Amino acid sequence: MNLTLRIWRQPGADAPGEMVTYEVDGISPDMSFLEMLDTLNERLTARGEEPVAFDHDCREGICGACGMVINGRAHGPERTTACQLHMRHFADGDTVDIEPWRAAAFPVVRDLVVDRSALDRVVGAGGYITAPTGSAPEAHATAVPKPAADAAFAHAECIGCGACVAACPNGSAMLFTSAKVNHLGALPQGAPERESRVLGMVEQMDAEGFGGCTLAGECATACPKGIPMPSIAAMNREYLRAAARR
């Protein structure tokens, strides 16, 4: 496959950026999108040019590090992570635009790399449970109903990639935050911090500069793990109840 890549190049956080065009040939349809970028970087390095900086880690669709906007869509044309997107989803001769996440809370560090530490701070504001120290408790000491376990596991699938923020026209992190709130809130182990958790995480989310949610639905469409829109409604109910009690 021969492709024309238009990639956002920005040497630093305070430097101006621009779309730069590269021609790449000999791309296998079986390559992942990141392997295609590796091929480009090998050729740029061989020519003495600066390689394209992009985030990646596990390359197995688990860590959520490989965030980028491909042809205007978070993670590209398939509902998966960029590392699990394969080049067979593109045609020979295609022009592919590659940009970093675009959100006020995700400042560009360099090229396709953005600072997503705002999501970590949201989790730090309440994404934990009370756990006594000492020996490990008996696994069956606290009974967890299966519906509650299923709900917790469904929300725990969130990998914090930030696609929901990048896809949202408002740059909102409501889907991410709701997944973290509902994950622990569904379990009896998460009950002691239930109210402080939702209040702390929502307030931290607002403080980080994420936009407000208008239920556009783009977040759920882009989420590679399928976190559903009703998750946001569930968190809103939790927040209103906790705020009233406070």
What's the rounded Cα separation, in Å, for the pair 123 and 137? 25
What pLDDT is recorded for position 143? 87
Q: Which amino acid, residue 196?
A: S
Average pLDDT over residues 230-235: 96
Burial (CB < 10 A; 0-12, 13-18, 19+), residue 161, is buried
pLDDT of residue 116: 96
Q: Is 217 helix (H, G, I), strand (E, B) or coil?
A: coil
The two structure tokens encoding residue 203: 């307030």
The answer to whether residues 102 and 69 touch, using CB atoms and an 8 Å cutoff, is: yes
pLDDT tens sequence across 145-160? 999 999 999 999 999 9
> What's the burial of 92, exposed, middle or buried (CB within 10 Å: 0-12/13-18/19+)?
exposed
- CATH code that applies to domain 3-110: 3.10.20.30
Q: Does the structure show a pLDDT above 80 at 232?
A: yes
Residue in the structure block whose two tokens are 């996440």: 101
User: Is 90 exceeded by the pLDDT of residue 130?
Assistant: no
Whose CA is closest to 193, among 211, 206, 209, 181?
Answer: 181
Say yes or no: do domains 3-110 and 116-132+139-245 share a fold: no
- Residue extents of the structural domains in the chain: 3-110, 116-132+139-245
Residue 5 has pLDDT above 90, yes or no: yes
Q: Per-residue confidence at 104, pLDDT binned at 50, 70, 90? A: very high
The CA-based angle 109-111-115, given to 5 degrees, is: 30
Instruction: Name the pTM for this structure.
Output: 0.92
> For residue 114, is pLDDT > 90?
yes
Helix (H) or strand (E) holding 184: helix 174-185
Query: Which residues have a Cβ under 8 Å from the Cβ of 235 and sit 6 or more positions away?
Result: 174, 177, 178, 181, 182, 198, 202
Query: Hey, what are 79's tokens?
Result: 């509902």
Pairing of strands 73-74, 3-9: unpaired
- Among the ranges given (40-44, 123-127, 187-191, 212-216), the one the predictor scored with the smallest mean pLDDT: 187-191
Please state, rounded to an integer, the average pLDDT across all residues of the chain.
Answer: 95
Q: CA quadruple 169, 170, 175, 177: dihedral positive or negative? A: positive
Q: Given CATH 3.30.460.80, say whether it is the number of domain 116-132+139-245.
A: no
Average pLDDT rounded to a whole number, residues 213-234? 95
What is the rounded CA–CA span in Å between residue 3 and residue 213?
Answer: 37
What pLDDT is stored for residue 133 in this prediction? 75
Look at residue 138 in the predicted model and tell me its pLDDT: 77
DSSP state, 44?
Answer: H
Q: Which two tokens stand for residue 171?
A: 């740059």
